[in-house]
Amino acid sequence: MNDQRTKRILIGCAVIIVVSCICVGLILGIGVGAAVIWPIGSGKTQATPSPIQVPESSMDPKVTDLPDPAAELPQEVPESVTEELPEDLADKLAEIESQVTQIRGLNAREQVDRELISPDDLERIVAEDFFSEYTDEEARKDLLILSTLGLLPDGFDLIDFYNRLYSEQIAGFYDDEIEKIFVVKGSDFTGSEKMTYAHEFTHVLQDQVYDLSEGLGLNDEDCEADSERCAAIQALIEGDATKTELLWFQDFASQQDYLDLLKFYNSFETPVLDSAPVYISADLYFPYEKGLTFVEYLYEQGGFDAIDEAYLNPPVSTEQIIHPERYPEDVPVTVTLPDLTATNDGWKLLDQDVMGEWYTYLILGKTHQWGDQISEEKAWDAAEGWGGDAYAFYFNEDSDQIIFILDTIWDTPKDAEEFVEVFYDYANERWTSLSITLSDARVYYGEDEFAGFWREGNRTIWVIAPDQDTLSDVLSELQ
C-alpha cells in the first residue's frame, strides 16, 4: 500500500484478532500456536526510487529531542472526552486509563478523544477510510511482488481479503493522526475488551510522550524510505502495549474478567484469518509476538526504564527485534544496488527497499505452495546471520514481465554458507535446476521465469528474470 498511515492503523486494528490470542494463551498457560508476520502493511512493497541507505547509527537524530517521559507531567490523568459514551462505559475506560498510567509510568499530556462506533460503522471505516486510497493498481503491484516471492498465489484478491479481515472481531483502535480512540460497541464490555482498551490506551501514552509520527518516524516518508526500520519500531510499540496489557490483567483484572477471557478463548472464531495464506497470518503476528519478546528482554534488564530508553534509541532492524541481545550494537550494513533502468530499455523500478532477516525467513519458510515447505528450524537458521541487504523489483509494462534482485551481505562466510544450503533446498522445491551456469551462478527454471543464485564469501545474490539473456545481463551488472 502507498498509505503508510493506513498500514499502521490496520496493524493496530488487528489487536483483538492477534493480541487477544497471544495474551489469552499466555494468561491461561495454553501457549500460542499461531504462526508468526506483517500484512501488506509491512511496507515491503513500497516503491522508493532513491538508493537504499541503511542508517550507520541506530540513533535517529530526531529522537534526541524527545521529552523526558518523567518531566513536568500532570499528577493525574486528564479527563477524557466522553460525551459520546454511556456514563458507565466512560467510567470503566477512565479507570483503565488510570491503571495503565500507573503500570506504564507515562502520563497523558492532554485529553484523548474517544468515540463509540457500531460494528456497521467499523465495516464502513475499513472499506471507505482505511482502503479508500488503496487502488486496484496498487493491489495488483503488491500481488505481483508477493507472488514473485512465492508468498501469495496469482490472482489472490488482496482488497477483498483485507476488507474482510479487518472487519472481523475488532474491539477498538487508536488513530495517532487524529489522536482518537475508537471503541466498537458490542453486547457488553468484558475482560477481553478491557484488555484491548488497556493496549490501545498504551498507544495514547506512547504517542503523547514520544510522538509516533515525527519523533519516532512512523510516517509515510520515513517508512517508505526504510520499511525495515519502521517494522522494528512498530514491534517495539506493539510489544510495549502488549506487555502493558498483560500486566494490567495481572494486577487489576477481576475473577469475572478471567472467566470472560476463558469464555472468549473457547468461543473466539476468525474464519478469515484462519483461511489466510501462511505468509499473511505469520506476518500479522510479528509486531505483537516478536515485539513482546523484545520488550520482555528489555524489561528484564531494567523494567520500563529500559523500554523508555529504547524509544530514545529505537531498534533499526527486524534482526534486532528477533535477537534482542544484539540491540542496539548490531546495525545493518549498507547495500546499494545499481540502477538497471540505465542499461535495460523498457524496465521501470517498481519497488526497492531492505528485505531484512524477518522477510528472509518468511520467503524460505512461508511459501504458499511448493510441496513441503522448508522447516521452521531450517528457515530460522538460514536467515540468522543476516547482516544487511537491498532488494529491487523492475517491471516491463509492454511485456508484463518482472525482474527481482536481492543482494545480501551476511555476518560471516559461514552464515552465507548456511543460507546457501537451505536456499538450494527451497529452490529445488520451487523450480527445476538446470545443468548450466550463468556468470558463475546456479540457474533454475520455472513457469515463465528463470532464477539465478550466486555466492562469494559472505555475499549472496538472487535474481529472478523472464529469460536467460536478461538473467545473465543482470547477474553481470551485480557482480
**What's the confidence (pLDDT) of residue 10?**
52
Looking at the structure, tell me whether residues 306 and 401 fall in a common domain. no
Does residue 86 carry a pLDDT above 50?
A: yes
Lowest mean pLDDT among 218-227, 292-301, 438-447: 218-227
Summarize the confidence of residues 237-264 as an average pLDDT.
92
Looking at the structure, tell me whether residues 358 and 306 fall in a common domain. no
**What's the confidence (pLDDT) of residue 163?**
81
Residue 335 lies in a domain: no
**What's the confidence (pLDDT) of residue 68?**
46
Shortest CA distance to 180 belongs to which of 84, 36, 295?
84
pLDDT band at residue 69 under the 50/70/90 scheme: very low
CATH of the domain at 411: 3.40.1000
Summarize the confidence of residues 233-243 as an average pLDDT.
95
- Mean pLDDT score across all residues of the chain: 83
Does residue 302 carry a pLDDT above 50?
A: yes
Does residue 3 carry a pLDDT above 90?
A: no
Looking at the structure, tell me whether residues 170 and 219 fall in a common domain. yes
pLDDT tens for 398-448 read 999 999 999 999 999 999 999 999 999 999 999 999 988 888 999 999 989
Looking at the structure, tell me whether residues 361 and 301 fall in a common domain. no
Looking at the structure, tell me whether residues 274 and 361 fall in a common domain. no
Residue 318 lies in a domain: yes
Lowest mean pLDDT among 128-142, 231-245, 413-427: 128-142
Does residue 71 carry a pLDDT above 90?
A: no
pLDDT tens for 87-114 read 899 999 999 999 999 999 999 999 899 9
**Residue that is last in its domain, among 269, 296, 326:** 326
Residue 333 lies in a domain: no
Residue 332 lies in a domain: no
Summarize the confidence of residues 303-313 as an average pLDDT.
98
Looking at the structure, tell me whether residues 107 and 9 fall in a common domain. yes
Does residue 252 carry a pLDDT above 70?
A: yes
Residue 83 lies in a domain: yes
**What's the confidence (pLDDT) of residue 435?**
86
Summarize the confidence of residues 269-281 as an average pLDDT.
88
**What's the confidence (pLDDT) of residue 84?**
62
Does residue 55 carry a pLDDT above 70?
A: no
Looking at the structure, tell me whether residues 304 and 435 fall in a common domain. no
Query: Could you give the percent of the chain with pLDDT greater than 90?
Result: 57
Looking at the structure, tell me whether residues 248 and 199 fall in a common domain. yes
**What's the confidence (pLDDT) of residue 349?**
96
Looking at the structure, tell me whether residues 275 and 414 fall in a common domain. no
Looking at the structure, tell me whether residues 365 and 301 fall in a common domain. no
**Residue that is last in its domain, among 292, 326, 360:** 326
Residue 278 lies in a domain: yes
Lowest mean pLDDT among 64-78, 174-188, 266-280, 299-313: 64-78
**What's the confidence (pLDDT) of residue 179?**
87
Residue 334 lies in a domain: no
**Residue that is last in its domain, among 297, 326, 355:** 326
214 vs 120, residue with greater confidence:
214
Q: How many domains does the chain have?
A: 2
Summarize the confidence of residues 386-397 as an average pLDDT.
97
Residue 402 lies in a domain: yes
- Reading the block at residue 177, the C-alpha cell is 493522526
- Extended beta strands in 268-385, E state: 347-353
Looking at the structure, tell me whether residues 19 and 121 fall in a common domain. yes
Show the domain range for 426: 340-478
pLDDT band at residue 59 under the 50/70/90 scheme: very low
Looking at the structure, tell me whether residues 181 and 285 fall in a common domain. yes
